[in-house]
Structure 1
């Protein structure tokens, strides 16, 4: 956890944060408590770590990787499985902007991080939005996992929605998968698309079929 807090501090500093190190570390620790909330089974510290790993590995593809890292930290900072629509993403974006400004990040950079967070609601980006593309691709990297990893992911998602009856969950989950499959490409950045697209589509199509047969 200490390593993650340090990485948050470094990303915030790179984005222009002027707060004291202790305040940045406190903010990073607070975010980790959010990522560790009991209602989370997939949207956990493990997911955060996985997204950050992809961003770090492909940071050269984005013009502002520090903003992408901060958006990764913030993109599920607010997570309630009972929330409707894109309320979690909207609330996370608002939370991100407020927290970052409090830490001395310039308003323009904080607003951009909030915009990036909002993109994770539908994972649709505009052309040449390289920062947004990297964040969305990193967030969806799990879809290209092997059979075991993908099964663990879908089981964790079901656990988060344990309050939803099976028929309703299957219908809602099928809608999510359909929207992803209808994207022109699940992954936007060419290196990631070449590496993950085929596998992700096969996983999604298999799950979609299991839900709709």
Structure 2
């Protein structure tokens, strides 16, 4: 685990880099508002821990992104709105991102690409856009985490849905995890497939058999 100052440095570095890459100035107070959102009490997995893990995975892969600033900013916003009992979290997160970009003076093409990247994290279709494939692989990297981190993630997701009866949660959770397991490939980029595909399938098989 990284020391707190290293985690704060990662967030600051990522935030500054994303906006600088876009050639824009972030609206005042936006980073703080986002960090407050990521720290809301209903969150257990979709927290700044997840955000930091995503940004740390992106950093060495930025060279492979076609629009690195847009990918990085999309990660900042992809779970900015998160209500476990609600629907349309991704769309509301994308709306917030586009509003912020418009306020900063981003053109419509940048706004719509960031929107599309965030909506790709619904995980309801295999991305075709290379940047979306990278972003989705980063979001799903937790499935290929070391077993202890995967178990922590599994418990964190359960905590976010603690209001759902156990029998129903287990059934729904098994369906979700089995859906990933049934894919031809969980990861859409060669690099993430090589690093994480085998372990992700091991984690998922173990979780599905125990659900």
Query: Does the alignment reach a TM-score above 0.5?
Result: yes
Q: Find the counterpart in structure 2 of residue 194 from structure 1.
A: 194
Q: Find the counterpart in structure 1 of residue 3 from structure 2.
A: none
Q: Which moved more, 1:142-151 or 1:113-122?
A: 142-151
Q: Find the counterpart in structure 1 of residue 41 from structure 2.
A: 38
Q: Residues 39 and 48 of structure 2 are in contact (CA less than 8 Å); yes or no, is this contact kept in structure 1?
A: yes
Q: Find the counterpart in structure 2 of residue 173 from structure 1.
A: 173
Shift in Å, 1:130: 1.3
Shift in Å, 1:116: 0.3
**Normalising by structure 1, what TM-score?**
0.90
Shift in Å, 1:9: 3.1
CA distance in 2, matches of 1:150, 1:3: 22
Within-5 A mapping of 1:81-100: 81-84=84-87, 87-100=88-101
Q: Residues 125 and 132 of structure 1 are in contact (CA less than 8 Å); yes or no, is this contact kept in structure 2?
A: no
Q: Residues 97 and 114 of structure 1 are in contact (CA less than 8 Å); yes or no, is this contact kept in structure 2?
A: yes
Question: Does the residue aligned with 1:63 lie in a helix, a strand or coil?
Answer: coil
Within-5 A mapping of 1:1-213: 1=8, 4-17=11-24, 19=25, 23-24=27-28, 26-84=29-87, 87-122=88-123, 124-127=125-128, 129-211=129-211
Q: Residues 21 and 68 of structure 2 are in contact (CA less than 8 Å); yes or no, is this contact kept in structure 1?
A: no
CA distance in 1, matches of 2:12, 2:190: 31
Once the two structures are superposed, what CA deviation does each residue of 1:101-145 show, in whole Å capped at 9, x if it has no partner? 112222211111111000000163343x21001100100111111
CA distance in 2, matches of 1:15, 1:110: 11
Question: Does the residue aligned with 1:125 lie in a helix, a strand or coil?
Answer: coil
Once the two structures are superposed, what CA deviation does each residue of 1:41-72 show, in whole Å capped at 9, x if it has no partner? 11000100110111111112211111110010
Once the two structures are superposed, what CA deviation does each residue of 1:65-104 show, in whole Å capped at 9, x if it has no partner? 11110010010000001114xx111211122111211122
Q: Residues 42 and 153 of structure 1 are in contact (CA less than 8 Å); yes or no, is this contact kept in structure 2?
A: yes
Q: Which moved more, 1:180-189 or 1:159-168?
A: 180-189
Once the two structures are superposed, what CA deviation does each residue of 1:129-172 show, in whole Å capped at 9, x if it has no partner? 21001100100111111121111110111111111110111111
Q: Residues 144 and 203 of structure 1 are in contact (CA less than 8 Å); yes or no, is this contact kept in structure 2?
A: yes
**Normalising by structure 2, what TM-score?**
0.91
CA distance in 2, matches of 1:166, 1:6: 41
Q: For structure 1, which runs of at least 5 residues remain unmatched after alignment?
A: none
Cα distance, 1:200–1:2 mapped onto 2, change above 3 Å: closer
